[in-house]
Amino acid sequence: MMNILVIGSGGREHALAWQCAKDDKVNNVYVAPGNAGTALEPKCQNVVLVSTGDNASEHSAIIDFCQNNAIDMVIVGPEAPLVTGIVDACRDAGIQAWGPTAYCAQLEGSKTFAKEFMEQNNIPTAAYKGFTEAVAAKAYIDEQGAPIVIKADGLAAGKGVIVAETIEQAYEAIDDMLADNKFGDAGSRVVIEQFLQGEEASFICMIDGKNILPMATSQDHKRAFEGDTGPNTGGMGAYSPAPVVTQDVHEKVMTQVIQPVVDAMNNAGHPYTGFLYAGLMIDEAGDPYVIEFNCRFGDPETQPILMRLQSSMVDLVAQGLAGQLPSDAQWDSRPALGIVIASKGYPETSSKGDVIAGLPELDDNNDNAVKVFHAGTTFSDSDAIDREKEVVTNGGRVLCVTALADSISDAQQAALAVTGAISFDGAQYRRDIGHHAIARENS
Ligand code: AMP
Ligand code: GLY
């Protein structure tokens, strides 16, 4: 029997924990720190790993927990611990941890590293230039014209990107990041890049240093409001598969993007292990351009992708850790679609403590066709007897209602029906998740 530790507290981690718990070989899935959903999931329990806040102390809290609880594998959800080297630290301590090393995680941790890496390895991406001085940045904007994209260099939780429609908006973003320091250290250096036109897709793989196992394709919805308007968010909903990734596009992504990452990291002496997420723009001609790399599974993409996974996640990670990833996995042929319900004020702010009503019972999921993954949730009173009735909001993205159905539009309808029954003060969600694929289905 196996014990697993999942690091993180989002919808992605709920989906990963739920998938791991389904495997009969698994005894316990610990989630650190987890959310109300992971606390309620069979075989799963949340753990609080106490650290004094610095990286070394966080790493040793995780390592101590693994050693004291006979953990067989650690699955790291979010980018922050990967960027600070949790996988390196676990390996040094003899613990099996699935994810990239700190070196490889720079692909997400530094936009400048990622852009230089792509340039050196001929990976298609938008033309760009890096700046630390507002005057020089603005001169470059004048030269390039609008629309143009301004990005904070470091980690900014998906929110450090401004797609400026006008020169004025671009100037404003430069002033925010370089002059006013709105994004802190993450924004003390900016990358300005060419605006790419096309349709986005998320291409996520498991990589064991050598072998590549592509996950089912997916598409996220980054903007806060319907019709892909409003500010960028961490993602308001996703579905899988993404029809924009045709067989031809899939092959191009594998040969032009993913394989070059694997080869270049090997040449640098730092084999890439873990999930790798290429955020792509696919142009009219079906050519992919990398918008960004993430060194982890996507959120909310994980939720619909793992709804469709029929292979054991635990077996896949074990094979990955052993350097023996297969080249494909078993997927439910039906599409899945997840709708994020966010809290009041998201993405600028988020609201905590709003009581969530209308959550379906855990086993009330009609033939496993709808699953409510939790993200920013907790219990108002951790000692309450009927804890399920006491779930409250605890962050920006609160839930992801995910449905599996015969078509994307049926999955959207099924997810909307459950989403509509859930309520809390200030709840907001998009009714048009999947619109690109549904337009294709209808034509
Ligand atoms: P990122 O955090 O780099 O993924 O950017 C967030 C979102 O901004 C992306 O999902 C795109 O919707 C948009 N975006 C980023 N870079 C570009 C670009 N060069 N051209 C067009 N849209 C972009
Ligand atoms: N859904 C976008 C991300 O995970 O970065």
For residue range 68-92, list pLDDT tens digits in order.
Answer: 999 999 999 999 999 999 999 999 9
Helix (H) or strand (E) holding 408, with range, is helix 408-421
Question: Distance between CA atoms of 97 and 346, rounded to whole angstroms?
Answer: 32
- The amino acid that residue 207 corresponds to is I
Contact 125/290 with Cβ under 8 angstroms? Answer: yes
How much is the average pLDDT of 237-261? 98
CA proximity to 24, closest of 253, 240, 315, 251: 315
Strands 273-282 and 199-208, by their bridges, are antiparallel
Return the residue matching tokens 């969530």.
Answer: 356
Q: How confident is the model at residue 161 (pLDDT cuts 50, 70, 90)?
A: confident
Please state the rounded mean pLDDT for residues 273-277: 98
The set of residues, in sequence order, having a beta carbon less than 8 Å from that of 287 and lying 6+ positions away, is: 124, 252
Distance CA(443)–CA(441), nearest Å, equals 6
First to last CA, the chain: 50
Largest CA distance in the chain: 64
Is the CB of residue 249 below 6 angstroms from any atom belonging to ligand 1?
Answer: no
> Which residue is associated with the tokens 């993602």?
235
Average pLDDT of the chain, as a whole number: 93
**202 alpha carbon to ligand 2 midpoint, in Å?**
8
Evaluate whether 252 touches 288 at the Cβ level (below 8 Å). Answer: yes
CA dihedral for 403, 405, 408, 414, sign (positive or negative): negative
Rounded-to-integer distance, Cα 138 and Cα 168, Å: 10
> Does ligand 1 have an atom closer than 6 angstroms to the CB of 278?
no
pLDDT above 90: percentage of residues in the chain:
85
- How large is the average pLDDT for residues 222-226? 96
Q: Which two tokens stand for residue 104?
A: 């490889």
- d(CA 309, CA 300) in angstroms, rounded, equals 15
Q: What pLDDT score does 430 carry? A: 98
Q: How far is the CA of 418 from the centre of ligand 1 (A)?
A: 30
Dist CA 397 CA 346 (whole Å): 8
Q: Identify the residue whose C-alpha is closest to ligand 2 atom 5.
A: 298
* pLDDT tens-digit map of 33-43: 999 999 999 99
Tell me the ligand closest to 338's alpha carbon. Answer: 2
- CA distances from residue 42 to 17, 90, 231 in whole angstroms, order as listed: 10, 27, 37
What's the rounded mean pLDDT across residues 110-131? 94
pLDDT of 387 reads 61
Residue 245 phi, psi (nearest 5): -90, 85
- pLDDT of 184 strictly over 60: no
The pLDDT tens digits of the residues spanning 371-391 come to 999 999 999 876 665 665 689
> Tell me, what's the pLDDT at 183?
57
Residue 415 has a CB neighbour count (10 Å cut-off) of: 30
- Ligand 2 atom at minimal distance to the Cα of residue 220: 1
Among 79-83, 88-92, 245-249, 364-368, the range scoring the smallest mean pLDDT is 364-368
Distances (CA, A) of 378 to 4, 31, 33, 39, 78: 21, 13, 11, 9, 19
Q: 136-142: which pairs have CB atoms within 8 A and are 24 or more residues apart?
A: 137/174, 137/178, 137/190, 137/192, 138/170, 138/171, 138/174, 140/192, 141/167, 141/170, 141/171, 141/174, 141/192, 142/167
Instruction: For Cα atoms 156, 75, 396, give the angle at the middle one, nearest 5 degrees.
Output: 35
Ligand 1 atom closest to the Cα of residue 222 is: 10
298 C-alpha vs ligand 2 centroid, how far in Å? 4
Separation of CA 291 and ligand 1 centre (Å)? 6
Helices (H), 195-298: 247-253, 259-267
